[in-house]
């Protein structure tokens, strides 16, 4: 039974809700760092809407229900939109969707056709063209004023810089980040101890709104364009508009369909509710737009939303499970990361039993304890994440979780460096860091030692054959013969790959050393200028920062590393082992011819001989492209035990399939 509020109580409640929503909107729009899930925000927002409808005199011009987007707080130049970029109204059930249709039918006087489109989980973007040339790109901002991101948009590959016709026009759409790109970006940020993005939308927003357009370029953003501000006169419907934009070279989503009945709309919703996890990009709902553009014009807009369109938002898919343990793992750079280990549950098409808790601050904010029942969802339909703790189910003997102060690998005291959210182990001989460091050293982007995966590295360390990367160059066939499942051909191939790596250009060696903040690009720029790694090891901070784009953080990290006697000793050992110290120019080494080279591969099910990440890396080292979703372009599905919907889809699409054992046999041929 709904509680009836007095006017005074309603006024107090409205103030409370507005403060809460304003704070959440600021985190979401201005900081690209939401603190609550979309479903929580939507529920609170709807509560405010209902109160304002019940008490119209409480509605104020500055209420969040009366404005679009958020206030602009970035340093980007501001852009005033000639035509406001409005938001969309939301509904959360098919019943509400039917009410929207009834309302449109009543206003128009007859049933209408809708163009039904996927609601992309991204950032609204306007593109303006003059005589066919891209002249300005801007974000929505508060609907009236956005941010100028023209320089950044020029680095988004699917945005045409020049149209095939000299049009002066404006189109709008969504800038987004694909799931695979999002997962990779977050993994990189987690490894560096940086704050991870909450979901692909915020990753896209944070990437597009950079002051340095080169960062945007590296983030690999995409767009879907779906709205024409002033369409040509021959365009009379929304579906025609999309077809014409597609013809002009804009990237449009071709999943949309035109329907004349709500039954067809509901079938479309059911279809994409089931399909959404298999898409390469995130969607959070379905959008209905009156297809007839003249009717759109007649229906007009409210102060905030068009009357002719509505967004149906998917309900959040959540499961409850119990946290049994919190594990702490040590990364290559010493960052110590907590992971919740939970009772396995089925979530968004996969079995989930682990979820990253990212860092101590995040763990404290969520308030997770061992034994807690938690609600679990997938951020951006990809990464398992704990939404909240179910406090009503917390055990009576529960105690707050204590953040460890010693490294779980070496036992040294952990440190919380200034301006970092991560805990770090700063012991350079920490076994976990040594292991991760060797894996990085051998990786494709560094020294490219094929066949030296995580399981082999672990065995080499456990048997005492390798204590640092220099030891790799003293391995013998007798030692490798003692490893599990390592046969003559594997031994020969690995020793050959280790020997070949000695001839790599020196920037690959510098990157392979795993120096904090010194990525592949920085290593190349430094060696391009100074040519010799031994000379680089003696450089000062001013000498390094004289290189364009090399800042103090990279310079200080590199000089601090080489100031250590242990680093100079390691460099000498590598030199004595015959490794090249000269810059030769970057030549991308192609994977040798093999069964999987240039093939698109998908992995599914439980693997027995490798972890998913190990097998992915092995395939990538062979030149394969490993993706997360099945399509007609997939060359092979490799599956383990309990393979589910991906295997079913592969059968329907007649995609060739291999068991894990069959795939390994192909690799070892």
Considering only CA atoms, give the Rg of the chain.
Answer: 28
- pLDDT for position 516: 80
- Residue 583 forms part of a structural domain: no
- Residue 581 forms part of a structural domain: no
**115 and 251 fall within a common domain:** yes
- Residue 40 forms part of a structural domain: yes
* Number of domains composing the chain: 5
- pLDDT for position 647: 84
**100 and 227 fall within a common domain:** yes
- Residue 590 forms part of a structural domain: no
| CB-based burial label for 415 (10 Å; 0-12, 13-18, 19+) | middle
In the listed set 20, 35, 66, which residue is the last one of a domain according to the structure? 66
**417 and 473 fall within a common domain:** no
Alpha helices in 193-311 (DSSP H): 200-208, 213-218, 238-247, 262-275, 293-299
**59 and 83 fall within a common domain:** no
- Residue 589 forms part of a structural domain: no
CATH number of the domain bearing residue 630: 3.40.50.10190
Successive 10-residue mean pLDDT values, the chain, 669 residues: 70 83 67 60 78 79 64 69 89 93 95 96 93 94 89 90 94 92 81 71 84 80 93 92 94 94 95 87 93 94 89 86 94 87 82 88 91 85 83 94 91 77 79 88 89 88 91 94 85 93 94 87 91 94 87 86 87 94 69 79 78 74 79 86 78 88 77
Helices first, then strands: H and E counts in the chain: 24, 21
Sequence-distant (6+) residues with CB within 8 A of 613 are 454
Distance CA 231, CA 228 (A): 5
384 neighbors 352 (Cβ within 8 angstroms): yes
- Residue 73 forms part of a structural domain: no
**32 and 84 fall within a common domain:** no
- pLDDT for position 449: 92
pTM over 0.75: no
In the listed set 356, 391, 423, which residue is the last one of a domain according to the structure? 423
Tokens 């894990």 correspond to: 660
216 half-sphere exposure, CB direction, 13 A CA radius: 20
H/E run at residue 107:
helix 94-108
Sign of CA dihedral 562, 564, 567, 571: positive
Tokens 């080169």 correspond to: 214
**386 and 522 fall within a common domain:** no
CATH number of the domain bearing residue 102: 3.30.470.30
**184 and 267 fall within a common domain:** yes
Note down the domain range covering 408: 319-423
**525 and 450 fall within a common domain:** yes
CATH number of the domain bearing residue 493: 1.10.150.20
310 neighbors 142 (Cβ within 8 angstroms): no
- Residue 244 forms part of a structural domain: yes
A 10 A CB-CB count for 136 gives 15
161 neighbors 131 (Cβ within 8 angstroms): no
**517 and 641 fall within a common domain:** no
- Residue 636 forms part of a structural domain: yes
CA dist 209 → 27, 119, 251, 382 (Å):
15, 21, 20, 23
CATH number of the domain bearing residue 23: 1.10.287.610
CATH number of the domain bearing residue 344: 2.40.50.140
**172 and 155 fall within a common domain:** yes
**90 and 187 fall within a common domain:** yes
Catalytic annotation, residues: 119
In the listed set 373, 390, 423, which residue is the last one of a domain according to the structure? 423
Nearest to 430 by CA among 412, 454, 452: 412
Distance CA 404, CA 190 (A): 18
**62 and 126 fall within a common domain:** no
């Amino acid at each position: 039974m709904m509680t009836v509020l007095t006017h005074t109580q309603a006024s107090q409640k409205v103030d409370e809700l507005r403060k809460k929503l304003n704070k959440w909107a600021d985190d979401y729009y201005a900081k690209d760092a939401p603190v609550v899930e979309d479903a929580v925000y939507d529920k609170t927002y709807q509560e405010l809407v209902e109160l304002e409808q019940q008490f119209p005199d409480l509605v104020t011009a500055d209420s969040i229900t009366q404005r679009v987007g958020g206030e602009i707080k970035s340093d980007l130049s501001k852009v005033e939109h000639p035509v406001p970029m409005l938001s969309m109204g939301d509904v959360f059930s098919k019943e509400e969707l039917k009410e929207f249709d009834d309302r449109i039918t009543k206003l128009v006087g007859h049933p209408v056709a809708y163009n039904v489109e996927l609601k992309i989980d991204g950032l609204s973007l306007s593109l303006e063209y003059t005589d066919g040339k891209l002249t300005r790109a801007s974000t929505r901002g508060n609907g009236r004023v956005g941010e100028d991101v023209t320089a950044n948009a020029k680095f988004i590959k699917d945005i045409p810089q020049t149209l095939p016709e000299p049009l002066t026009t404006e189109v709008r759409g969504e800038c987004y980040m694909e799931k695979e790109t999002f997962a990779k970006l977050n993994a990189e940020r987690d490894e560096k101890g940086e704050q991870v993005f909450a979901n692909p939308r915020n990753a896209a927003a944070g990437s597009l709104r950079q002051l340095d357009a080169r960062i945007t370029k590296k983030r690999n953003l995409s767009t879907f364009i779906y709205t024409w501000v002033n369409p040509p006169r021959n365009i009379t419907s929304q579906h025609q508009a999309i077809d014409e934009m597609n013809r002009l070279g804009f990237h449009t989503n071709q999943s949309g369909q035109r329907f004349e009945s709500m039954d067809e709309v509901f079938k479309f919703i059911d279809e994409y509710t089931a399909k959404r996890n298999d898409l390469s990009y995130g969607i959070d709902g379905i959008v209905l737009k009156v297809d007839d553009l003249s009717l759109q014009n007649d229906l007009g807009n409210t102060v905030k939303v068009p009357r002719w369109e509505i967004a149906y938002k998917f309900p959040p898919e959540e499961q409850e499970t119990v946290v049994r343990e919190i594990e702490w793992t040590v990364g290559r750079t010493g960052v110590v990361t907590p992971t919740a280990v939970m009772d396995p549950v089925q979530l968004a098409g996969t079995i989930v039993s682990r979820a990253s808790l990212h860092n101590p601050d995040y763990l404290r904010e969520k308030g997770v304890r061992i034994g807690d029942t938690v609600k679990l969802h997938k951020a951006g339909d990809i990464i398992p994440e704990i939404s909240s703790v179910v406090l009503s189910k917390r055990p009576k003997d529960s105690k707050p979780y204590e953040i460890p102060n010693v490294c779980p690998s070496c036992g040294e005291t952990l440190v919380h460096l200034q301006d970092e959210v991560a805990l770090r182990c700063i012991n350079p001989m920490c076994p976990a860091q040594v292991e991760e460091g060797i894996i990085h050293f051998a990786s494709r982007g560094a020294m490219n030692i094929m066949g030296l995966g995580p399981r082999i590295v672990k065995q080499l360390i456990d048997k005492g054959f390798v204590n640092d990367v220099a030891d790799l160059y003293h391995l013998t066939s007798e030692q490798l013969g003692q490893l599990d499942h390592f046969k003559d051909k594997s031994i020969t191939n690995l020793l050959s790959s280790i020997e070949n790596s000695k001839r790599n250009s020196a920037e690959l060696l510098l990157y392979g050393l795993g120096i904090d903040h010194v990525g592949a690009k920085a290593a190349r720029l430094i060696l391009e200028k100074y040519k010799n790694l031994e000379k680089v090891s003696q450089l000062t901070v001013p000498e390094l920062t004289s290189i364009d784009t090399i800042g103090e953080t990279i310079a200080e990290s590199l000089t601090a590393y080489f100031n250590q006697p242990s680093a100079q000793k390691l460099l000498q050992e590598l030199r004595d082992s015959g490794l090249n110290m000269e810059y030769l120019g970057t030549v991308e080494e192609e994977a040798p011819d093999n069964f999987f080279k240039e093939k698109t591969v998908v992995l599914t099910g439980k693997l027995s001989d490798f972890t998913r990440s190990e097998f992915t890396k092995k395939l990538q080292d062979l030149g394969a492209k490993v993706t997360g979703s099945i399509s007609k372009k997939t060359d092979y599905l490799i599956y383990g035990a309990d393979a589910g919907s991906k295997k079913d889809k592969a059968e329907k699409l007649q995609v060739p399939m291999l068991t894990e054992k069959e795939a390994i046999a192909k690799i070892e041929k």
